[in-house]
Amino acid sequence: MKRFLYAIVFFITGVQFAYAQQKPQYTQYIFNNYLLNPALTGIENYTDVKAGYRSQWTGLEGAPTTGYLSINAPIGDRFVQGDATAFPASGGLNPSSRLYTQQYQAAEPHHGIGLTLVSDKTGPISQTTIDATYAYHLGLTDRLNLAVGVSAGVSHNVLDRAALHFGGVDDSDPILANLNTNQWKPDLGFGVWAYASDYFFGVSVQQILPQSLYVTGSSSLNKTVPHYFFTAGTKLFLSDDVTLIPSVLVKVIQPVPTTFDVNMKVSFQDKFWLGGSYRRSDSFAAMVGFNLSSFINVGYSYDFTTSALNTVSNGSHEIVIGILLNNRYKVTCPQHTF
């Protein structure tokens, strides 16, 4: 009986902790790479606020849902008051234009600070992570920047015991009674980001500190593991104001197989963009985004599931809303991310 109970509990937690990535996944990572890499903290010369919501595999009971709020801003008078790429108050070059790329210069050295709040729920498992972030940006050359960042905070992990059903097994069994269903754990991450006017690449790691969750013992099924992310992208000009932006995200999470996302985004001046994405052995996605003003922008994506789950789910929805605070140069799209 004890083996049976252990098998049930390990299956519940193992679905998340052994057979899939433990951190949320995002189709629109290109819209907010800051969620994956703290080195992007303060990369723009305004306070960048983003709120997002993802409903994965809609129609499937207990499917993952994720909501997040992120905010980050630069620190440093030279950068905030006008770096080499700053726009005048009356406007300026479209950052997606070929001319902007030709005139680009590396940003002034500066610091960045930020905060992320991510809430993720899958079946009876809920996780809320709060992290403060810091980054330092400097110019390696006249046209290339390098940023190094760190994130630190806490993760609140909850297992809803009331949602667990064991088919007549006595809930008073010591194995079930000793489940630790409400835990606070430390969280730590690190990242490096290199960026110029027409390309970027970065490396980051989340969940550096392995933690045991819910079930006491030595089994690896209920342990967190580090998540490694490798990201790169570039700009290709179809015309002076129409830009093709391919990018790739590689995720390395042991013991699951390495996976990757490939994205293609077409930006039309600084007004709106269209895109598509492929996630290995999981889904295709369509994306669209609008820069509505110098205060707000919005992005939406829909994932078409290609795995076996497509027989029981209706795909995945994701929406992201961006707010540009203290935007003294009235930019309508990012200058240093794309």
160 CB-near residues (< 8 Å, 6+ apart): 124, 125, 126, 181
Note the pLDDT of residue 152.
97
Grade residue 19 by pLDDT with cuts at 50, 70 and 90. Answer: very low
Distance from C-alpha of 88 to C-alpha of 94, rounded to nearest angstrom: 12
pLDDT of 67 strictly over 70: yes
Note the pLDDT of residue 34.
96
Query: What are the angstrom distances between the C-alpha of 254 and each of 18, 30, 155?
Result: 8, 24, 20
Distance from C-alpha of 295 to C-alpha of 47, rounded to nearest angstrom: 11
Structure tokens at 36: 């994956």
pLDDT digits (tens, 9 = 90+) for 248-285: 999 999 888 889 999 999 998 878 999 999 988 878 99
CATH number, span 40-161+183-325: 2.40.160.40
Domain spans of the chain? 40-161+183-325
Secondary structure (3-state) at 329: coil
With contact defined as beta carbons under 8 Å apart, do 154 and 45 qualify?
no
Distance from C-alpha of 283 to C-alpha of 285, rounded to nearest angstrom: 7
Distance from C-alpha of 267 to C-alpha of 256, rounded to nearest angstrom: 34
